[in-house]
Chain A
């Protein structure tokens, strides 16, 4: 079996370019990202609010979201995890893509100033405020089986079924449910790859604000994270506020912090042109 190897010069040139990208990505060039957003969350100007929804513990919700609008997701009464999925409103085959999100930004740890990518190399959300940085891209949501293991004997609502319901009511199916972003889930990975719940990363009343960078449909499930150490199933209500975020400034953090986000927004611009 023949295999024509690439020339040592080609390989060396590509390696050098990769290492340059890697250095910038790991050393936060061009911009260092800011500290978490302050608590408590400041009030949103009433005139900017389009809708406010309280999702009861254990339930799901979905909403349309236009480019330039934002969502504040607020724990309100204390610790809870919110699973989030999203689709491009005009082509639902374009959707949240967490594997690209973590790979291109060189980190599984999201926080203020980071962006969330679709599978088409475009930015879906900018994280414009975030009080915790305690989010989970890896573990997914609860299922009937994970609830049965964690809360034996009880029949409780779970994120998998919630998202099948949310997708179903949008004319989508289980084929369309992407990997899930868990907001307010302080999951970290140890050196052997094991998952740990770093509760210290979370604060009571944490909030995150996601600005839409394209027209979207967003789905939520409000169920305890499978790794949440609380043995009692008692998810608190979460408050989701949809509001007009205003046009991003010239030096908008999410648009200028990393080389990857810059190129992602260039891909967004070509969609809008």
Chain B
């Protein structure tokens, strides 16, 4: 874990309105108001952070990986990426990224897909989909509301022939992304517990979430 890195004079540790440590393998959710900025920090490095967004006053409007990729014309998420909903609205904009590689094509791990990828012996392991189901259930949602997510700091290169594999993450301790909300959103995070692939170096670690008010 490294020290706090300033990206703007208006965003210091002292003036954050929320500051959450999310243990290894755990879920988290919280509201980010329009104009607020959320920083998601990979505190120890090489940790995949599975994230979903829902419009705070209408959960039927939610993050859409396909609309996001199509709108920006490419498969990866980075500075300047508009996070687009299933209704075509901009939910957030990524304004800072110290890592440079984030995935939204490969989805969240689940007990069920683990059996397919790694063998039936991996069925009874913590998984992001279980984290998501638990966390969205606190907001009146269910499995049907779990959609393809963003995997911050997960490295999933896609080759021109379609080949796609999860490879070692490139994030260093303290790497972060910052997103400014264009509407009130519910942010739901699963701090990925996967120990069968290199998305988090086979060793899940804690992360940190900070939220700041807008500058107005």
Interface residues of A (CB under 8 A from B): 1, 3, 5-6, 10-11, 14-15, 17-18, 21-22, 25-26, 92-93, 95, 97-100, 102-104, 106-109, 117, 119-122, 137-141, 143-146, 160, 173-180, 188-195, 226-227, 260, 263-264, 266-267
- Which one, B65, B110, B163, B202, contacts A15 given CB within 8 A? B202
State the CA gap A180–B65 with chains docked (Å): 11
Which chain A residue shows the least CB distance to B74?
A: A193
B18 to chain A, nearest CB (A): 17
A179 and B65 contact, CB distance less than 8 A: yes
Does B30 lie at the interface of the complex (its beta carbon under 8 Å from any beta carbon of A)? no
B73 and A195 contact, CB distance less than 8 A: yes
A119 and B74 contact, CB distance less than 8 A: no
Chain A residue contacts of B111, Cβ below 8 A: 121
Between A26, A143, A192, the greatest number of chain B beta carbons within 10 A of the residue's beta carbon is seen for: A143
A138 and B69 contact, CB distance less than 8 A: yes
- Which one, B60, B106, B148, B165, contacts A22 given CB within 8 A? B165
Interface residues of B (CB under 8 A from A): 1, 21, 24, 43-44, 59-60, 64-67, 69-70, 73-76, 86, 88, 105-108, 110-120, 129, 142-148, 156, 158-166, 195-198, 201-203, 205-206
B69 and A1 contact, CB distance less than 8 A: no
B113 to chain A, nearest CB (A): 5
B142 and A93 contact, CB distance less than 8 A: yes
A109 and B161 contact, CB distance less than 8 A: yes
Listed by A's residue number, 19 A-B pairs whose Cβ atoms lie within 8 Å are: A26-B163, A93-B143, A99-B107, A99-B108, A102-B106, A108-B105, A109-B161, A119-B143, A139-B66, A139-B70, A140-B64, A140-B70, A143-B88, A178-B147, A189-B162, A190-B160, A192-B74, A195-B73, A267-B112
Which chain A residue shows the least CB distance to B146?
A: A119
- Which one, A3, A100, A174, A191, contacts B206 given CB within 8 A? A3
Chain A residue contacts of B43, Cβ below 8 A: 1
A27 to chain B, nearest CB (A): 11
B158 and A189 contact, CB distance less than 8 A: yes
